[in-house]
Chains A and B, each alone.
Chain A
Amino acid sequence: MPTFDFLPLLWWGLPLAAAPVVIHLINLLRHRRVPWAAMEFLLASQKRYRTRVLLKQILLLLLRVAAVIGVVLAMAQPRWTSALGQLLGGARTTHVVLLDDSYSMSDRTGEAGGEEATAFDRGRQVVERICSELAAASGVQELAVGRFSRLAAADPSGAAAPKFDIPRRPATPTVMQQIRDELASWAPSAHDTGPREPVTAAAELFGAGSGAKSARVVWVVSDFRAGQWKTADDTAALLRELTAEGAEIRLVDCALDATAGAQGGRPSGNLTIERLEVAGGVPATGVLVPLEVAVRNQSDRPVADVAVALREDGAERPGVRIQQIPAGGVATQRIGVRFPQTGSHVVEARIPADAVAVDNARTAVIDVVDRVDVLLIDGALGAAGEVRAAARTGDAFYLAAALAPGAGATTGLRPRVEPARSLTTLDLKSFDCIWLLDVERLDPAEVAALEAFASGGGGVVFFVGPRTKPELVNRSLVRDGKGLFPVPLAGAVDLLPDAAAQAPDVVVEEHPVVAVLAGQRNPLLDAVRIDRYMAVERGSETAVEGGLRRLLSLRTGAPLVLERAFGAGMVVVVLTTAAPEWNTWARGNPSWVVVMLELESHLASARRKAESLEVGAAVRVPLDAAVDGIEVDFVIPPDGTVVHQTASVDQTGSLAARLPAADAPGAYAARWQRADGTQRERLFAVNVAPDEGRLERIGRERLDRTLAGVPFTYENAAALQPDTQSLAGVSLVTPLLLGLLGVLLLEQLLAYSSSYHPTVRQPRSA
């Protein structure tokens, strides 16, 4: 499509095309008047030649109009641009450059024998090259540049237009130099932004463009990692829409192939700390808290001997070494950390530098308390608080002894024994786990409170016993599978003694809680004798919706301990007593303590999981309007920049302070003042999305499949060599002038044949 160097001239000049018509009309009004005698011959001639004269006049007018248009076009300097020339050499071309700054672009896979450069560096060079070519190109060029992370930044109101780093502006040499200067300050972000949001932003930019249609070019400068591009269906649809509206799509690949690294540069492999979290245990002072760190090997070669360093509140702590991580696999290692003080602690795990640096560290914030309260609802406590069982023989006693043995064995747990009515009077949110010990009955309010607790992520454990009434349980707690209780009970039965006494009463199933007891025969568990248990209704296990999971079974095959998810929480039923009334488990058997502690840790894990935000997410601090001030300072890593935010009531109706987006990984602190004058601080761990660390390339073939139906050009950053000549386009002035000459000659011939040329009157002969 031709473009014009001086497009305004075209718009101003084109109306002149009407001049021949206007002149013709004026001439019609300016006829010379001649009184004429021989009108009959003239009228006869006019009658005979009327059609021919009219056609010639119209043709002549058209030729003259064409001549004027030709002159105007020639003055506007038309160019016929090639495919490349249309991109950069066109008259009015809008270029939108979308620069991928996700952290995979910080890949330092080196060029063989060359200077190291990140993919982002190469992307930046591509943008610079585009700027240079645009500054030199003819025609009106406009450029907008946006980084992926900025374009994807969520706006709280959702109304603002995407934020381009460099809004659309004319590509003059001065502006291009300013852009190049600004580019120097750019660095890869810690985001994992994919192409969808940036391409959407480009579409919106074009949509909000200046009415006149101009050539449009979308440059996507990225490393085209498989993780983001192989499922980019939304992006493909957007690109299809853009191309349907005439936009040119140019994909510029900045990443080097893995073979480049293999030939002498840095290793192309990348290790990513995928997880760092509390793996069970109780986050209480003095308690050894197991932290689990998972490292993924993103390369196609196994990696050995990876040192994981640990920092706790900025202080180095003993790390661990991972012997080997298989190619593409994950290695998990546990590290025990003991926190001497209460409060929020920042733990950071770090692995040695590799191709991508930002995913070599991961932060976790662990809130450590003095003791964790555990609520034990003892069925032995009557409605009036009457103690019907001896304090040292009841279920609560044995369970409390298991959870908090005392005498130097610190578990961090603090059992609190309460009657059933406490379920409606206590703030259940302050507990991670509630144990119900042979409770005879629960009224509907108590059942509702308990179910709300469980569905909110809490753990609930039922122990049955002599007071348990199966029909009441089935009616109020099972409710045909809709209730909290996992299975309907049939009734208490005795476990007949094994005459041969060869098999233990309790069989360990495959479950993390009893994993320590699984495997070879465990003498501790073998010593457990089950005399009586509560049988479940026949066939009820398989009929339960959502599935049951056994922890322990009896040698008869009947279930002993069952687990079922309920909402976000978990419910476990132990079909025997906690006290050594129907069994001998709690009587001096260490496995009782181990299993109960593991069970507590397992059920409370959902609540104790350290909250971790991903880069790009908003940091939200819920506040209590009654006690908290609304002015909150966010301290942002790594340099401790303080951003002040005022809390407001959000869409959920609750008061909260909000940091719109966390751009850097690390520990964020939110500080505010309470009404009583005390300072509060809450820490948040923000980490990169581990999947972005996968450096697998999508490759041209898969990209073609993903972007099926999208016409695009795919070039390597190093091979992108815009040709100035083709950018400028081929000038159409010469052929246009030749055409104009032809039109003028034709016009003269036609005018002559139409007798429009004035004749020199011959002097009369004497």
Chain B
Amino acid sequence: MTRQKRSHHKLKRAVAPYLYLTPSLLIIGLLMLLPMVTVIAYSFQNSAVLRRDPSFAGLKHYQAIFDDPVFWASLWHTLYFTCMSVIFHMTIGMVFALMLNNDRINPTLRNILRVLYILPWLFTAVIIAVIWRLLLEPNGVVNSILMQIGIIGSKVEWFSSPETALHAVTFANIWAGYPLFMVSLLAGLQGIPKDFYEAADIDGAKAYQKLIFITIPQLMPIIISISLLDFIWTMQVFPLIWITTGGGPIYSTEVLSTYTYKLAFSSYNLSQASASAVVILLISLGLTLFYIRYQKAR
């Protein structure tokens, strides 16, 4: 190779990665970063989107949101919904993973159950919402079973009474989301070296001691990273609540996403909705930074 040719080749290698990345960066830049800047701009404008020359509003829309008791109620519901979901996703996922990993079950049964336990994961949020509406109808099968066992005396309107609605949507979401934990923990369990347990057996460790001193510490990195991701994603849940309760009755299941959606597309107050969307964005970004730092520290 001549020197000229080689330097030409070098130049090509230097430019090439940027060329390969161009389409992706264009899409992420134009359709993600630019809209993020836009929504922040909207939140400081009067009649954003609706008017061509919106005037500057300062912090007015943020003020309006922070003065709105429904916003605070939504924030509280979001927290309750998300924390309960993550805690139970983790617990159920862990219990199922440990049961499936137990060598007392015959391998064929294990494989069948593993497929069946993943089932809720394969269904779209809208379909999950519709299924749970059917199950929890006042005349539905859940009430019928609970009345037969004698747990409840009369039909409960799970989704349409303010006392039960939030618990009902949270339960449906718990059902829908545990498989991510189960699958990840199952993979994690298979990665724990067998010698750890053999050494513990030699020392005469009991089953629960092995769980507390070997299994859980070994799974900790997976538990933490999945919990963080699950927290971020559950916070953003929209269709499940939209279809089951629509945020009602009387705001009892209003979460940040339904609150924002209604501001934008029921009241057409897109400026105030943008302010609310920016608040959600800030919460998510905070958690994401935490997640990335955790991943890098590992």
A and B pair up: no
